[in-house]
Structure 1
Amino acid sequence: MRQLKAEFYKMRHTFLFPLHVIVPVAAGVLFLAWTRISAQLQFSVFVQAVGVVFPVLASVICAGNIELELSGHLQGFLMTTGKRESIFLAKWMSLEILAFLAVMGSVILYGVGNRTILGDMEIPFSIFLKAGVFLWLGSLPLYLEHLFLNLCFSKTVSIAVSIGQLLISALFLTGLGQGKWQYFPCSWSSRGTSLYLAEKFNRRVALGAANTDLRDILTCILLGTVLCVIIFIWFHFYEGREVSE
């Protein structure tokens, strides 16, 4: 808990806190305005857009966080009297807490605006909340991957990978993602949440007659667990890298 508190202190005077406020508010307001103007935009499109850009946002946020450590040549990050993995866990948790607040804030803003401004009472508010949770759960491996990429390589590599993940995430929203999306963590937020909404709204045909069963969920959990274990084992032996880009 002390390390988690220290992570928030480090980020206090950076762009990371304002970014987690500005982006959710801007996304909610923009899509509400678009819905009001076009009268065609649906909540599922909002969820898909957020899920698709999540890899790039995760890359930028992780890069900004790791820059705080690179400014001290990783000495404060690696010098600890306790278990080294706890430092990495605290960093990951601090970013995920901010991500959770940002995602839920954006979804709640859209849900409230959808009811009060647009007068759409058909969607239960619980669906907005559950969709936000699913979006956030899909970000868990993304943040871990981009923390690894920024620590092992550089922010340039991380951003390049995130652009590829964005394209895969967008592509897998079509029928091409059927049977494949669960093996690509970058598509879990967009595709997984879209499938949840498709089940609720009986629109599975829009995603290539997609259906989600227990095996898909177990595959995601197993793959995510293996990914976490591998990266934490790697960090146990991590000795830093050259700080120049």
Structure 2
Amino acid sequence: MIALIRCIKSDFYKLGHTSIPWIHLLIPLAGALIFLLYYHTTSKNSITDIEGYLEVLAIAFPLLIGLISGIVIEKEEQAGGFQVMLCTSKSKCTMYLSKLILLLLLGTFSIALAVGVFALGFHVLPYLFYLKAGVALIIGNIFLYILHVFISIQFGKGASTGLGVAGSLISALMLTGLGDYIWYFVPWAWSVRFCHRMFEKLNSPAFSAEIVLDIQKGLFVMLFAICIAFAISLFWFKKWEGRKSYE
């Protein structure tokens, strides 16, 4: 545990002189302020406006996850062709976990900032609702971070970014009728669908029990997938010896 904490601190220090911390600060802050300005000048402070903002946030994150994961792993590659990660055999999984936790912490900060600033400026619903929505966005992205760390290490930043673009498109598509019956099994749909179902529960109290069961089904599938993906990724990285170009 101490070694892991040291690795995370080291990774944060490495990123301190890059644009990545600023990206996680400025993009969510700018997004929240732009939506607040737009809503305060054109809308009637409706619940639909909040739903629209959170869904846009959920749709944008797959792309951001793909891009940021690719950049972080690319910097590790540029520092010596993954030699730091590969040569520390006693703590190989620790190095992998450090990168994953770093990305999850940065993503959590961005979501908290984006939702928190918007909640302060658009206090139509209780803060508890915004908190639940923020948690839904965070846990809905965990699988994507695991996936994109793998893609970035194995195939590079281009592949991770390309998958991120496709993921955002899939996420938007899952809001249509096409996603009604398959969203449980589509990782890019989890965040946006959890938020969507929360608003359906709010707007349709008569169907509350049915919606809660639907959310619980999605949560079960998602948590199961996260556990399996995490275990497989650890096993894979422990055996990984570098890309073919380095062998």
Q: Tell whether the structures are fold-level matches, with TM greater than 0.5.
A: yes
**1:88 maps to 2:75:** no
Candidates 40, 62, 68, aligned match of 2:69 = 62
> Does structure 2 conserve the Cα–Cα contact (< 8 Å) formed by 1:52 and 1:169?
yes
Identity %: 28
> Does structure 1 conserve the Cα–Cα contact (< 8 Å) formed by 2:184 and 2:217?
no
**Which residue of structure 2 lines up, in the alignment, with residue 33 of structure 1?**
37
Matches within 5 A, 1:119-134: 120=124, 123-134=125-136
- Distance change in 2, residues 1:204/1:237 (3 Å): farther
Matches within 5 A, 1:145-224: 145-202=147-204, 212-224=214-226
Shift of 1:56: 0.6
**Which residue of structure 2 lines up, in the alignment, with residue 99 of structure 1?**
107
Shift of 1:193: 2.0
> Does structure 2 conserve the Cα–Cα contact (< 8 Å) formed by 1:10 and 1:68?
no
Alpha-carbon distance between aligned partners in 1 of 2:212 and 2:130, rounded to the nearest angstrom: 21
Shift of 1:100: 0.8
Larger proportion of helix: 2
Alpha-carbon distance between aligned partners in 2 of 1:182 and 1:242, rounded to the nearest angstrom: 35
> Does structure 2 conserve the Cα–Cα contact (< 8 Å) formed by 1:178 and 1:210?
no
> Does structure 1 conserve the Cα–Cα contact (< 8 Å) formed by 2:63 and 2:161?
yes
> Does structure 2 conserve the Cα–Cα contact (< 8 Å) formed by 1:104 and 1:132?
yes
The aligned amino acid for 1:49 is V
Cα deviation, 1:28-78, whole Å, max 9, x if unaligned, reads 001111212320561111110011111110011111101211112111122
**Which residue of structure 2 lines up, in the alignment, with residue 7 of structure 1?**
11
**1:112 maps to 2:124:** no
Q: Which runs of 4+ in 1 moved over 6 A?
A: none
Cα deviation, 1:73-107, whole Å, max 9, x if unaligned, reads 11112221523112111111111111111101110
The aligned amino acid for 1:6 is S
- Distance change in 2, residues 1:81/1:25 (3 Å): same
Alpha-carbon distance between aligned partners in 2 of 1:18 and 1:200, rounded to the nearest angstrom: 35
Extract unaligned runs of 5+ from structure 2.
none
TM-score (norm 2): 0.88
Cα deviation, 1:129-164, whole Å, max 9, x if unaligned, reads 111111011111111111111111121111211121
TM-score (norm 1): 0.89
RMSD (Å), alpha carbons: 2.1
Extract unaligned runs of 5+ from structure 1.
none
Q: How many residues are matched?
A: 235
- Distance change in 2, residues 1:225/1:178 (3 Å): same
Cα deviation, 1:154-208, whole Å, max 9, x if unaligned, reads 2111121112111111011122111211111111111122212321333899xxx
Cα deviation, 1:192-228, whole Å, max 9, x if unaligned, reads 22212321333899xxx89624333211111221122
Alpha-carbon distance between aligned partners in 1 of 2:206 and 2:67, rounded to the nearest angstrom: 33
